[in-house]
Homo-oligomer: A and B are copies of this chain.
Amino acid sequence: MTQTTRIALLQHACSEDVSANIAKAHGMIRDAAKQGAQVVFTPELYTSQYFCQTEDPAKFDLAVTIPGKLTDSICELAKACQINLVASLFEKRAPGLYHNTSVCIDDTGTMLNRYRKMHIPDDPGFYEKFYFTPGDPRKSCPRKSEASEVHGSSEDLSNAGYQTTQLGDLNVGTLICWDQWYPEAARLTAMLGAQILQYPTAIGYWKGEPAQEGARQRDAWITMQRSHAIANGCFVAAINRIGTEGDITFWGSSFVADPGGQIIAQASEDQEEIIIVDIDLSLMETTRRMWPFFRDRRIDTFGDLQQRWLK
Protein backbone atom coordinates (compact mmCIF):
# COMPACT_ATOMS: atom_id res chain seq x y z
CA MET A 1 0.00 0.00 0.00
CA THR A 2 1.49 3.31 -1.05
CA GLN A 3 1.73 6.26 1.35
CA THR A 4 2.23 9.22 -0.92
CA THR A 5 3.33 12.64 0.29
CA ARG A 6 3.91 15.58 -2.04
CA ILE A 7 7.02 17.66 -1.37
CA ALA A 8 8.45 20.72 -3.11
CA LEU A 9 12.04 21.91 -3.51
CA LEU A 10 12.68 25.55 -4.35
CA GLN A 11 15.60 26.19 -6.70
CA HIS A 12 16.24 29.87 -7.32
CA ALA A 13 18.85 32.58 -7.74
CA CYS A 14 19.54 35.27 -5.16
CA SER A 15 20.13 38.95 -5.85
CA GLU A 16 21.73 41.59 -3.63
CA ASP A 17 18.22 42.71 -2.64
CA VAL A 18 17.18 40.68 0.41
CA SER A 19 13.57 41.81 0.27
CA ALA A 20 13.31 40.80 -3.36
CA ASN A 21 14.81 37.38 -2.60
CA ILE A 22 12.31 36.81 0.18
CA ALA A 23 9.41 37.99 -1.98
CA LYS A 24 10.45 35.64 -4.78
CA ALA A 25 10.97 32.59 -2.55
CA HIS A 26 7.73 33.19 -0.67
CA GLY A 27 5.90 33.50 -3.97
CA MET A 28 7.34 30.10 -4.92
CA ILE A 29 6.13 28.69 -1.60
CA ARG A 30 2.62 29.92 -2.40
CA ASP A 31 2.87 28.28 -5.82
CA ALA A 32 4.06 25.02 -4.26
CA ALA A 33 1.09 25.08 -1.88
CA LYS A 34 -1.27 25.62 -4.83
CA GLN A 35 0.28 22.58 -6.47
CA GLY A 36 -0.62 20.52 -3.44
CA ALA A 37 2.77 20.22 -1.76
CA GLN A 38 2.55 19.29 1.91
CA VAL A 39 6.16 20.18 2.76
CA VAL A 40 8.49 22.66 1.04
CA PHE A 41 12.26 23.08 1.34
CA THR A 42 14.33 26.21 0.58
CA PRO A 43 17.96 26.39 -0.61
CA GLU A 44 20.63 27.28 1.96
CA LEU A 45 20.56 30.90 3.22
CA TYR A 46 17.85 31.67 0.67
CA THR A 47 17.30 35.30 1.67
CA SER A 48 20.69 36.61 0.51
CA GLN A 49 23.58 36.07 -1.82
CA TYR A 50 26.18 33.61 -0.58
CA PHE A 51 28.14 36.10 1.51
CA CYS A 52 30.84 33.64 2.65
CA GLN A 53 33.04 34.32 -0.41
CA THR A 54 34.83 36.93 1.69
CA GLU A 55 35.38 37.47 5.40
CA ASP A 56 33.48 40.70 5.97
CA PRO A 57 32.30 41.66 9.48
CA ALA A 58 29.56 43.83 7.97
CA LYS A 59 27.86 40.71 6.60
CA PHE A 60 26.82 39.68 10.10
CA ASP A 61 24.11 42.33 9.68
CA LEU A 62 22.35 39.83 7.42
CA ALA A 63 21.66 37.55 10.40
CA VAL A 64 18.30 37.40 12.16
CA THR A 65 17.18 36.38 15.63
CA ILE A 66 15.01 33.27 15.80
CA PRO A 67 12.20 33.68 16.60
CA GLY A 68 12.03 37.18 15.14
CA LYS A 69 10.39 39.28 12.46
CA LEU A 70 11.51 37.11 9.57
CA THR A 71 10.44 33.82 11.14
CA ASP A 72 7.17 35.45 12.21
CA SER A 73 6.46 36.34 8.60
CA ILE A 74 7.39 32.83 7.44
CA CYS A 75 5.07 31.36 10.07
CA GLU A 76 2.25 33.62 8.80
CA LEU A 77 2.95 32.47 5.26
CA ALA A 78 2.92 28.78 6.30
CA LYS A 79 -0.39 29.25 8.08
CA ALA A 80 -1.94 31.21 5.22
CA CYS A 81 -0.88 28.58 2.66
CA GLN A 82 -1.43 25.66 5.03
CA ILE A 83 1.97 24.31 4.11
CA ASN A 84 4.81 22.85 6.19
CA LEU A 85 8.30 24.12 5.50
CA VAL A 86 11.97 24.01 6.31
CA ALA A 87 13.66 27.40 5.84
CA SER A 88 17.42 27.89 5.86
CA LEU A 89 18.47 31.11 7.64
CA PHE A 90 21.48 33.00 9.01
CA GLU A 91 20.82 33.04 12.77
CA LYS A 92 22.06 35.57 15.35
CA ARG A 93 22.01 33.66 18.62
CA ALA A 94 23.89 36.20 20.75
CA PRO A 95 26.28 39.08 20.09
CA GLY A 96 29.21 37.52 18.23
CA LEU A 97 27.55 34.08 18.09
CA TYR A 98 26.00 33.12 14.77
CA HIS A 99 24.72 29.89 13.22
CA ASN A 100 23.69 28.48 9.87
CA THR A 101 20.25 27.30 10.92
CA SER A 102 17.19 25.58 9.52
CA VAL A 103 13.79 26.21 11.08
CA CYS A 104 10.87 23.81 10.78
CA ILE A 105 7.43 25.40 10.63
CA ASP A 106 4.17 23.50 10.38
CA ASP A 107 1.00 24.27 8.45
CA THR A 108 -0.59 26.01 11.46
CA GLY A 109 2.26 28.51 11.40
CA THR A 110 3.98 27.08 14.48
CA MET A 111 7.77 26.91 14.58
CA LEU A 112 8.42 23.39 15.83
CA ASN A 113 12.17 23.03 15.76
CA ARG A 114 15.50 24.35 14.60
CA TYR A 115 18.71 22.64 13.46
CA ARG A 116 22.11 24.32 13.55
CA LYS A 117 24.59 23.16 10.92
CA MET A 118 27.06 20.82 12.57
CA HIS A 119 29.87 20.62 9.96
CA ILE A 120 31.25 23.97 8.82
CA PRO A 121 33.45 24.21 5.69
CA ASP A 122 36.30 26.59 5.07
CA ASP A 123 37.82 26.53 1.61
CA PRO A 124 38.76 29.22 -0.91
CA GLY A 125 35.49 31.01 -1.67
CA PHE A 126 33.60 29.28 1.15
CA TYR A 127 34.87 30.97 4.33
CA GLU A 128 32.09 29.70 6.56
CA LYS A 129 34.19 29.15 9.69
CA PHE A 130 34.42 32.95 9.95
CA TYR A 131 30.65 33.28 10.13
CA PHE A 132 29.11 30.15 11.65
CA THR A 133 29.63 28.49 15.01
CA PRO A 134 29.00 24.73 14.65
CA GLY A 135 25.80 23.38 16.16
CA ASP A 136 25.89 22.25 19.79
CA PRO A 137 26.34 18.55 20.53
CA ARG A 138 23.36 16.80 22.05
CA LYS A 139 23.92 16.08 25.70
CA SER A 140 22.71 12.49 25.72
CA CYS A 141 20.94 9.83 23.71
CA PRO A 142 17.49 11.23 22.90
CA ARG A 143 14.38 9.37 23.95
CA LYS A 144 10.84 9.45 22.63
CA SER A 145 9.70 11.59 25.54
CA GLU A 146 12.00 14.39 24.39
CA ALA A 147 10.41 14.59 20.96
CA SER A 148 7.15 15.89 22.35
CA GLU A 149 8.96 18.45 24.45
CA VAL A 150 10.33 20.19 21.37
CA HIS A 151 7.04 22.00 20.84
CA GLY A 152 6.10 24.92 23.05
CA SER A 153 8.07 27.78 24.49
CA SER A 154 11.02 29.44 22.78
CA GLU A 155 13.42 27.83 25.28
CA ASP A 156 12.42 24.45 23.91
CA LEU A 157 13.70 25.55 20.52
CA SER A 158 17.30 25.59 21.72
CA ASN A 159 17.60 21.82 21.44
CA ALA A 160 20.99 20.67 20.26
CA GLY A 161 22.38 17.93 18.04
CA TYR A 162 20.95 16.19 14.99
CA GLN A 163 17.22 16.75 14.51
CA THR A 164 14.12 15.30 12.98
CA THR A 165 10.76 17.03 12.90
CA GLN A 166 7.33 15.69 12.03
CA LEU A 167 5.94 17.94 9.29
CA GLY A 168 2.56 16.73 8.11
CA ASP A 169 2.94 13.06 7.17
CA LEU A 170 6.70 13.33 6.84
CA ASN A 171 9.42 12.94 9.45
CA VAL A 172 12.09 15.33 8.13
CA GLY A 173 15.77 15.02 9.07
CA THR A 174 17.36 18.44 8.84
CA LEU A 175 20.99 18.63 7.74
CA ILE A 176 22.76 21.45 5.89
CA CYS A 177 25.23 21.52 2.97
CA TRP A 178 28.73 20.49 4.24
CA ASP A 179 26.99 17.93 6.52
CA GLN A 180 26.26 16.08 3.27
CA TRP A 181 29.85 14.78 3.10
CA TYR A 182 29.58 13.07 6.50
CA PRO A 183 27.97 9.61 6.55
CA GLU A 184 27.98 9.88 10.35
CA ALA A 185 25.56 12.84 10.27
CA ALA A 186 23.24 11.07 7.82
CA ARG A 187 23.25 7.91 9.92
CA LEU A 188 22.55 9.66 13.21
CA THR A 189 19.67 11.59 11.66
CA ALA A 190 18.24 8.44 10.07
CA MET A 191 18.48 6.69 13.45
CA LEU A 192 16.25 9.43 14.87
CA GLY A 193 13.56 8.20 12.48
CA ALA A 194 13.99 10.55 9.51
CA GLN A 195 12.06 9.51 6.41
CA ILE A 196 13.83 12.12 4.33
CA LEU A 197 17.24 13.71 4.84
CA GLN A 198 17.11 17.23 3.43
CA TYR A 199 20.20 19.26 2.59
CA PRO A 200 19.77 22.95 1.73
CA THR A 201 22.94 23.78 -0.14
CA ALA A 202 24.98 26.53 -1.76
CA ILE A 203 27.50 24.78 -3.98
CA GLY A 204 28.82 25.50 -7.42
CA TYR A 205 31.66 25.89 -9.85
CA TRP A 206 34.46 28.04 -8.51
CA LYS A 207 36.13 30.06 -11.25
CA GLY A 208 39.60 29.13 -9.97
CA GLU A 209 39.12 25.47 -10.92
CA PRO A 210 39.15 23.77 -14.32
CA ALA A 211 35.78 22.78 -15.81
CA GLN A 212 36.63 19.08 -15.58
CA GLU A 213 37.17 19.40 -11.83
CA GLY A 214 33.84 21.19 -11.45
CA ALA A 215 32.05 18.36 -13.25
CA ARG A 216 33.73 15.85 -10.96
CA GLN A 217 32.69 17.79 -7.89
CA ARG A 218 29.06 17.98 -9.01
CA ASP A 219 29.08 14.24 -9.68
CA ALA A 220 30.64 13.53 -6.26
CA TRP A 221 28.04 15.77 -4.62
CA ILE A 222 25.23 13.75 -6.18
CA THR A 223 26.91 10.39 -5.52
CA MET A 224 27.56 11.14 -1.86
CA GLN A 225 23.97 12.10 -1.13
CA ARG A 226 22.58 9.15 -3.08
CA SER A 227 24.78 6.96 -0.88
CA HIS A 228 23.05 8.32 2.24
CA ALA A 229 19.71 7.24 0.77
CA ILE A 230 21.10 3.75 0.08
CA ALA A 231 22.94 3.24 3.37
CA ASN A 232 19.95 4.42 5.38
CA GLY A 233 17.03 3.24 3.25
CA CYS A 234 15.37 6.66 3.27
CA PHE A 235 14.66 9.55 0.92
CA VAL A 236 17.18 12.35 0.36
CA ALA A 237 16.50 15.87 -0.94
CA ALA A 238 19.27 18.27 -2.00
CA ILE A 239 18.17 21.86 -2.56
CA ASN A 240 20.68 24.16 -4.27
CA ARG A 241 20.58 27.69 -5.62
CA ILE A 242 21.44 28.80 -9.19
CA GLY A 243 23.10 31.83 -10.69
CA THR A 244 26.54 33.43 -10.64
CA GLU A 245 27.59 35.41 -7.58
CA GLY A 246 31.16 36.68 -7.55
CA ASP A 247 33.49 33.75 -8.28
CA ILE A 248 30.90 30.98 -7.96
CA THR A 249 28.35 29.74 -10.47
CA PHE A 250 25.95 27.64 -8.43
CA TRP A 251 25.09 24.41 -10.22
CA GLY A 252 21.44 23.96 -9.22
CA SER A 253 20.74 20.27 -9.98
CA SER A 254 18.53 19.99 -6.90
CA PHE A 255 17.23 16.44 -6.65
CA VAL A 256 15.34 13.81 -4.71
CA ALA A 257 16.64 10.25 -4.33
CA ASP A 258 14.48 7.35 -3.20
CA PRO A 259 15.47 4.78 -0.52
CA GLY A 260 17.15 2.66 -3.20
CA GLY A 261 19.36 5.61 -4.20
CA GLN A 262 17.64 6.29 -7.52
CA ILE A 263 17.10 9.91 -8.51
CA ILE A 264 13.35 10.36 -8.94
CA ALA A 265 13.41 14.09 -9.77
CA GLN A 266 16.15 16.53 -10.67
CA ALA A 267 16.22 20.20 -11.62
CA SER A 268 18.37 21.87 -14.29
CA GLU A 269 21.71 23.53 -13.59
CA ASP A 270 20.54 27.06 -14.36
CA GLN A 271 16.77 27.50 -14.19
CA GLU A 272 14.56 28.63 -11.33
CA GLU A 273 12.22 25.76 -10.63
CA ILE A 274 9.79 24.39 -8.10
CA ILE A 275 10.48 20.67 -8.09
CA ILE A 276 7.27 18.90 -7.08
CA VAL A 277 7.73 15.25 -6.17
CA ASP A 278 5.31 12.63 -4.85
CA ILE A 279 7.27 10.35 -2.58
CA ASP A 280 5.93 6.96 -1.48
CA LEU A 281 6.96 6.41 2.14
CA SER A 282 6.06 2.70 1.95
CA LEU A 283 9.23 2.22 -0.13
CA MET A 284 11.28 2.61 3.03
CA GLU A 285 9.89 -0.57 4.55
CA THR A 286 10.17 -2.44 1.24
CA THR A 287 13.75 -1.36 0.69
CA ARG A 288 14.91 -1.99 4.24
CA ARG A 289 13.36 -5.49 4.26
CA MET A 290 15.36 -6.40 1.18
CA TRP A 291 18.63 -4.77 2.25
CA PRO A 292 18.38 -4.68 6.04
CA PHE A 293 21.51 -2.69 6.76
CA PHE A 294 20.29 -1.46 10.16
CA ARG A 295 19.92 -5.10 11.29
CA ASP A 296 23.62 -5.80 10.89
CA ARG A 297 25.47 -2.67 12.07
CA ARG A 298 28.42 -3.75 14.23
CA ILE A 299 27.74 -1.20 16.94
CA ASP A 300 30.19 -3.05 19.21
CA THR A 301 32.98 -1.96 16.84
CA PHE A 302 32.04 1.70 16.25
CA GLY A 303 33.49 3.31 19.38
CA ASP A 304 36.58 4.54 17.56
CA LEU A 305 34.39 6.72 15.31
CA GLN A 306 34.72 9.25 18.12
CA GLN A 307 38.46 9.39 17.45
CA ARG A 308 40.04 11.88 15.08
CA TRP A 309 42.42 9.33 13.55
CA LEU A 310 43.69 5.90 14.56
CA LYS A 311 47.42 6.12 14.13
Interface residues of A (CB under 8 A from B): 118-121, 123, 134, 137-138, 141-144, 147, 161-162, 178, 181-188, 191-193, 216, 219-220, 223-224, 226-227, 230-231, 260-262, 290-294, 296-311
Q: Choose among B123, B147, B299, B311 the residue that contacts A308 (Cβ–Cβ < 8 A).
A: B299
Closest 3 CB pairs of A and B: A183-B183, A227-B227, A191-B310
In the complex, which residues of chain B have a beta carbon less than 8 angstroms from the beta carbon of A304?
Answer: 138, 141, 188, 191
Provide the bound-state CA to CA distance between A230 and B294, in Å. 22
Write 18 A-B pairs (CB below 8 A) sorted by A numbering.
A118-B298, A141-B307, A142-B310, A162-B301, A182-B231, A183-B184, A183-B187, A183-B227, A188-B305, A188-B310, A191-B304, A191-B310, A193-B310, A216-B262, A219-B261, A219-B262, A303-B306, A305-B305
Q: Do A296 and B184 form a contact, CB below 8 Å, given A302-B306, A309-B191?
A: no
Identical chains bound together, number:
2
* Cβ–Cβ < 8 Å partners of A141 in chain B: 304, 307, 310
A223 touches B230 (CB 8 A): yes
* Cross-chain contact A294 with B309 (CB below 8 angstroms): yes
- B297 close to A223 (CB less than 8 A): no
A134 touching B260, Cβ below 8 Å: no
Asked if residues B121 and A296 are in contact (CB atoms below 8 Å), the reply is: yes
Q: Are B311 and A184 in contact (CB under 8 A)?
A: no
A308–B303 Cα gap in the complex (Å)?
13
**Least distance between A234 CB and chain B CB atoms (Å):** 13
Which residues of chain B have C-beta atoms less than 8 A from A118's C-beta? 298, 301
Minimum C-beta distance from A305 to chain B (A):
5
Bound complex: CA A37 to CA B302 (Å)? 34
Measured CA separation A292–B120 after assembly (Å): 11
Bound Cα distance from A210 to B134, whole angstroms: 45
A178 (CB) vs chain B CBs: closest residue? B296
Complex alpha-carbon distance, A191 and B183, angstroms: 14
Cα separation A223 to B258 with both chains bound (whole Å): 14
Separation of A299 and B306 alpha carbons in the complex (Å): 5
| Contact partner, A297, options B147, B182, B230, B299, Cβ 8 Å | B182
User: With a CB–CB cut-off of 8 A, which chain B residues contact A227?
Assistant: 183, 223-224, 226-227, 231
Of listed A181, A185, A193, A296, residue having the most chain B CB within 10 A: A296
The answer to whether A161 and B293 have CB atoms under 8 Å apart is no
Known: A138-B304, A220-B261. 10 other contacts (CB 8 A): A119-B298, A120-B296, A137-B298, A142-B310, A181-B231, A182-B298, A188-B310, A297-B308, A302-B305, A305-B305
Contact (A224, B220) CB under 8 Å given A161-B301, A183-B187, A191-B309: no
User: Which residues does chain B contribute within 8 Å of A182, judged by CB atoms?
Assistant: 231, 293, 296-298
